[in-house]
Amino acid sequence: MMAEAEDRLQNYRSLFRLDGRVALVLGAASGIGKASAEALAALGAVVICADKNKQGVEETAAALSRQGRLEAHVIDASDGNAINALAATIEKAHGRLDVAVTTPAIHVRKLLLDYTDEEYDRVVDLNLRGTFYFLRAFGRMMARQKSGSLIASSSVRATTLEPGLAIYGATKAGIIQMVRGLASELGSHGVRVNAIVPSIVETALVSPLKARPEIWNALAKHTVFNRWARADEVGAAVAFLASDAASYISGTALLVDGGWTAIDGPPTGLTKTYSEPA
């Protein structure tokens, strides 16, 4: 009985491992993408890093490389031809791709009525069209091989907004719907498709907000923890969705939001300190 119990425990542990898996992270130069690449590598995957930032993506790949093998590609996530070329390169070099993660996004914080056509195109082309290119290219590869996990990056702004984020929020809502649709189409091929949905994440890109503590703290108070997320906390969610521990999860938008969408602002006047009974 003890041996059987230990076997079951070992089986559960192995579900989270990614040994022998080939994973791609687009957006690996920084932030959530970099943390995702680190998490996947820590669990045993061979990680292919891609990003528009040449120096950043090469630094990430070098830190994760094994036996001096550096897997780095410089690519514009909004360029469909470049995405297709990357898919062909990976298929030729590795023969398969088990995990594909995309995280790049931008936003122009501006009232909708003040948006220019150029600003709209810039946000939609990267966030929505770029995600479409990614899901299509690597979804086709995984459909052929009859397995794989596709993971896209959405945001709580898909459902909760503030002035100036309408277009960004629309793209993030669109990503969730694309994920759901593709999950319904690829399930019979053994491919899972999911999205991560973070709220506020502390990365280098938002470091200027630290100089404005009133904004930084106000956003933190939208969470039950009264703090911003660390990038590795989102990366861990990505690694979970990539693993066999999530083998029955597809078409899901996984909230990694610190309770942002569960509460309606911070409690006022009802805060209490709890302690163990004497």
Higher pLDDT, 269 or 212: 212
What confidence score (pLDDT) does residue 266 get? 62
Q: Are 123 and 107 in contact (CB under 8 A)?
A: yes
Instruction: Give the separation between CA 197 and CA 218, rounded to whole angstroms.
Output: 20
Arithmetic mean of pLDDT, 170-194: 98
Confidence band of 204 (pLDDT split at 50, 70, 90): confident
Q: What is the DSSP string of 112-162?
A: GGG--HHHHHHHHIIIIIHHHHHHHHHHHHHHHHT-EEEEEE--GGGT---
- Closest-CA residue to 105 (of 160, 27, 198, 23): 27
Which residue numbers are catalytic? 168
CATH superfamily for 20-256 is NAD(P)-binding Rossmann-like Domain (3.40.50.720)
| pLDDT > 90: percent of the chain | 80
Q: Compute the mean pLDDT over every residue in the chain, rounded to the nearest whole number.
A: 91
Confidence band of 206 (pLDDT split at 50, 70, 90): confident
Residue extents of the structural domains in the chain: 20-256
Higher pLDDT, 208 or 28: 28
pLDDT at 238 over 60: yes
What confidence score (pLDDT) does residue 5 get? 64
Report how far Cα 84 is from the mean position of its chain's Cα atoms.
20
What confidence score (pLDDT) does residue 211 get? 79
Radius of gyration of the chain (CA): 20
pLDDT at 277 over 70: no
- 39-96 pLDDT, tens per residue? 999 999 999 999 999 999 999 999 998 756 679 999 999 999 999 999 999 999 999 9
What confidence score (pLDDT) does residue 66 get? 72
What confidence score (pLDDT) does residue 273 get? 54
Confidence band of 278 (pLDDT split at 50, 70, 90): very low
What confidence score (pLDDT) does residue 7 get? 67
Report how far Cα 143 is from the mean position of its chain's Cα atoms.
21
**Sign of CA pseudo-dihedral 173, 175, 176, 178:** positive
